[in-house]
Amino acid sequence: MADPLRRRVRAKFLRAASITSGILPEWLARGGLEQAAWLSRFTRHEKRILENLTRAYKGELDAGELQRIASGVRRHSARIFYEWLRLSRGSELEGAWLDSVVRTDSSLQILDEAVANGRGALIVTAHIGNWELLAATLVRRGIRGAVVGLERKRDPGSIWLSDMRRAYGVETIPQHSHPRELMRVLEGGGSVGLVCDLEVRRLAGEFLPFFEVPALTMIAPAALARARRLPLIPVRCVLPEPGSDHYLLRVEEPIERDWSLPRREATSEHMQRVLGIFERWIRETPEQWAWHQARWQAKVGQIDALPLGAPRD
């Protein structure tokens, strides 16, 4: 299918799915998406899921356990897509629904205190659980700001996601934006959310161990933390157990930069600690992470790591 036609079909599908999600009963809408997700086991996505699982666990799990996780990944993908459809409607009714499906605990006080100082907050998270519900929940609690996301002018998917976030009050700052756009939000006392667990080749990055495998990792979060002298605050929104009817939003202790290290080493070390937390999260709830993404596609020697500010040809 030619790219322009594919984009038009995708745009119409997303519009229709958003409307349909507000008409059909939840069990029917989610059931249809789960059936579609089941069919994805015959696609390249399933192959990539199993390849990534095998690479990460290195014999810790047998083939049956890896297949079980892969099946859970498919079901979870269907679930979060349905939840994104609900978010895209952006009504007060959906706000009440959001309150019912996301719970918080006392750890949220960590983020509340960081925001209260008026210097802004740098939130780091991963493609685990439902990161869009995370952002929406923080907005419902009065924590305003922006998230950094992929934005392509002719990509209906990225446009739809940006529109969805706008519907519940979150600005999307494109990944290719100048850092001053992020600084603007922080200087205004807002929070900036960075989903930084996957490789993004067009951004500055370094190869750091992730599940003991070198992985191209963006260094922008640590660079922003240095520029604003702020810690990185890990936050996740995950199902506490498989099949749960709600998510739990939890905040980890802030990760401070080690100012005793040389600048570049400190940046790498800062991000390495972030990756360590992400790996712990993933091991706790492996079926809720985006194993279908090309996390370890870039290889050392095939693509050069870039310092912050250097363009990728």
Residue with structure tokens 């660079």?
223
Count of Cβ atoms closer than 10 Å to residue 79 Cβ = 18
Among 160, 151, 100, 138, smallest CA distance to 236 is for 138
Number of structural domains, the chain? 1
Which two tokens mark 53? 């699982």
Residue 297, in any domain of the structure? no
Structural domain boundaries enclosing 132: 3-288
Average pLDDT, the chain: 88
Which residues on neighbouring strands pair with residue 289, listed in sequence order?
A: 128
Residue 81, in any domain of the structure? yes
State the pLDDT at residue 7: 58
Residues 6 or more apart from 168 whose CB is under 8 A from it?
87, 90, 94, 95, 98, 135, 136, 139
Residue 188, in any domain of the structure? yes
State the pLDDT at residue 254: 98
What angle is formed at CA 244 by the lines to CA 239 and CA 250, rounded to 5 degrees? 30
Of the spans 14-18, 160-164, 194-198, which averages the highest pLDDT? 194-198
Residue 301, in any domain of the structure? no
Measured distance CA(206)–CA(269) in Å, rounded = 11
Are 207 and 300 in contact, with CB atoms under 8 Å apart?
yes
Task: Read off the pLDDT of residues 246-281 as tens digits, 9 standing for 90 and up.
Answer: 999 999 999 999 999 999 999 999 999 999 999 999
Burial of 106 (0-12, 13-18, 19+ CB in 10 A): exposed
Region 3-10 average pLDDT: 60
CATH number at residue 182: 3.40.1130
Are 273 and 234 in contact, with CB atoms under 8 Å apart?
no
Residue 305, in any domain of the structure? no
Residue 313, in any domain of the structure? no
- Asked whether residue 304 carries a pLDDT value surpassing 70, the answer given is no
Residue 65, in any domain of the structure? yes
Which two tokens mark 268? 């790498």
Residue 307, in any domain of the structure? no
Which two tokens mark 178? 């100048």
pLDDT class for 21, splitting at 50, 70, 90? low
